[in-house]
Amino acid sequence: MPPDGHRSAARPGFGPFREGTFSSRLHGERTAALIGIALGIAFIVCFVTGLISHFAQRGPEWTREAWPARPVSLYRITQALHVLTGMAAIPLLLAKLWVAYPRLWEWPPVRDPLHAIERLGVGALVAGSIFQVVTGLLNIFYWYAFPFPFPSAHYTGAWIAMGGLAMHVGAKWQITRRALRAPPDAVRGTGLSRRGFLAVVGGASGVILVTTIGSVIPGLARLALLAPRRAGFGPQGVPVNHTAGPRVRAGAESADYRLEVTGAVASPLSLSLDELRSMPQSSAVLPISCVEGWSTSATWRGVRVREILDMARASADATIRVESLEQHGAQRSSTLYPNHARDPLSLLALELNGATLHIDHGYPVRLIAPNRPGVEQTKWVTRLEVL
């Protein structure tokens, strides 16, 4: 009789349903509990940091408006944690699925209504976790293979996975405590020991971490074999996300380039590059923190956004639409709320790390503001529309 006391008399006598099919001690409760705890912590970190990213840039307007400008690297840290933890969780997820998969053939499949709910929760957790990891991975490697928009699907998947996780933790709480309190069963038999198995799984997570963390730490960039972007690598020491196309390049390099300030202003502006260069210049050390996890800190120099807004006599609580030379694409413009628009570190940068901006970093003018997701650091800025 199995340990939970349910009779196995009606169990089908074939294939994986047969008693004793899964004989490895690694399918036991203790292994499941230990890996489950590590995986649960990793997923909670992913969920919390993912929600932070959501509310910073895609949530209801009031959360985006309330998103602070300090600490300047907060988003850099939360988004790095999100992607690095998600990547390192992959071996844990695979191991957990392997440890637990004999339960697929549990007999009877459903014992009572509570057990049915418990299994539904596990289904949501398994499907949601695999979906999150697969979509997240494809996204950071720029392989937009799925037919749905990534952020909304990944956001929905997060709630499904976490709903399943909450149900699963509720159902397994007692068993986990019991399994962890009992003295570890004596190691018998041949093959991989539990300790060996945990070391292999943990080691795989560690290898992934070491080969991706260089996407956020320049000193470790050479180890970043698995990272699509490396901190500190790229023109002017900064990676590039989206290079300038021919139309953008033509507009950016044209003598007719102007920075316009329009909308709700008392004196609209149209500034040439020389005029911008002759205004007071400020410097700021700020990161580009891509939503896809990589980041690099750099020294930017240019004109404070708020000085330009004051010059145009925009109101102090105005929200600004920052528009680029691009005609199309989701990143052609971004919204700058007062928190960031009035911040002394928010610049329309003309220089990066001591030289004129590279065309792929947004020449002639790009927005750089503290604690702002990279996707909103608009390049090739040609207009501030005051709303």
Ligand X SMILES: Nc1nc2c(c(=O)[nH]1)N[C@H]1C(S)=C(S)[C@@H](COP(=O)(O)O)O[C@H]1N2
The residues binding ligand X (CB under 6 A) are 238-242, 288, 290, 324, 326, 331-332, 360-362, 374-375, 377-380
Per the CB < 8 A criterion, the answer to whether 348 and 381 are in contact is yes
Instruction: Identify what 324 binds: ligand HEM, ligand X, Mo ion, none; CB under 5 to 8 Å per kind.
Output: ligand X
In the bound state with Mo ion, the residue whose beta carbon lies nearer, of 244 and 261, is: 244
Residue 241 is a binding residue for Mo ion (CB under 5 A): yes
Residue 372 beta carbon to Mo ion: minimum distance, rounded to whole angstroms: 11
In the bound state with ligand HEM, the residue whose beta carbon lies nearer, of 139 and 205, is: 139
Instruction: Identify what 215 binds: ligand HEM, Mo ion, ligand X, none; CB under 5 to 8 Å per kind.
Output: none
User: Residue ranges of the alpha helices (H) in 267-387?
Assistant: 273-277, 305-311, 338-341
Per the CB < 8 A criterion, the answer to whether 213 and 47 are in contact is no
For residue 347, what are the contacts with CB-CB under 8 A and spacing of at least 6?
282, 284, 300, 301, 302, 303, 304, 305, 367, 368, 369
Binding site for ligand HEM (CB under 6 A): 43, 46-47, 50-51, 53-54, 58, 82-83, 86-87, 132-133, 136-137, 139-140, 150-151, 154-155, 158, 161-162, 291-292
Residue 174 beta carbon to ligand X: minimum distance, rounded to whole angstroms: 46
Residue 217 is a binding residue for Mo ion (CB under 5 A): no
In the bound state with Mo ion, the residue whose beta carbon lies nearer, of 83 and 318, is: 83
Nearest to 193 by CA among 359, 351, 26: 26
Rule CB under 5 A: choose which of 276, 290, 309, 314 binds Mo ion: 290
Residue 83 beta carbon to ligand X: minimum distance, rounded to whole angstroms: 13
Instruction: Identify what 80 binds: Mo ion, ligand HEM, ligand X, none; CB under 5 to 8 Å per kind.
Output: none
Q: How many helices (H) does the chain have, and how many strands (E)?
A: 10, 10
Rule CB under 5 A: choose which of 169, 217, 264, 375 binds Mo ion: 375
How do strand 381-386 and strand 259-263 relate by DSSP bridges?
Answer: parallel
In the bound state with ligand HEM, the residue whose beta carbon lies nearer, of 86 and 91, is: 86
In the bound state with ligand X, the residue whose beta carbon lies nearer, of 119 and 332, is: 332
Instruction: Identify what 47 binds: ligand X, ligand HEM, Mo ion, none; CB under 5 to 8 Å per kind.
Output: ligand HEM
Q: Which amino acid is at 67?
A: W
User: Given its phi and psi angles, is residue 234 left (phi above 0), alpha (psi -120 to 50 degrees) or beta?
Assistant: left
User: Which sign does the torsion angle of CA 10, 14, 17, 23 carry?
Assistant: positive
95-101: list long-range contacts, CB under 8 Å, 24+ apart: 95/35, 95/197, 95/201, 96/32, 96/35, 96/36, 96/39, 97/126, 99/26, 99/27, 99/31, 99/32, 99/35, 100/27, 100/32
In the bound state with ligand X, the residue whose beta carbon lies nearer, of 319 and 377, is: 377
In the bound state with Mo ion, the residue whose beta carbon lies nearer, of 128 and 374, is: 374
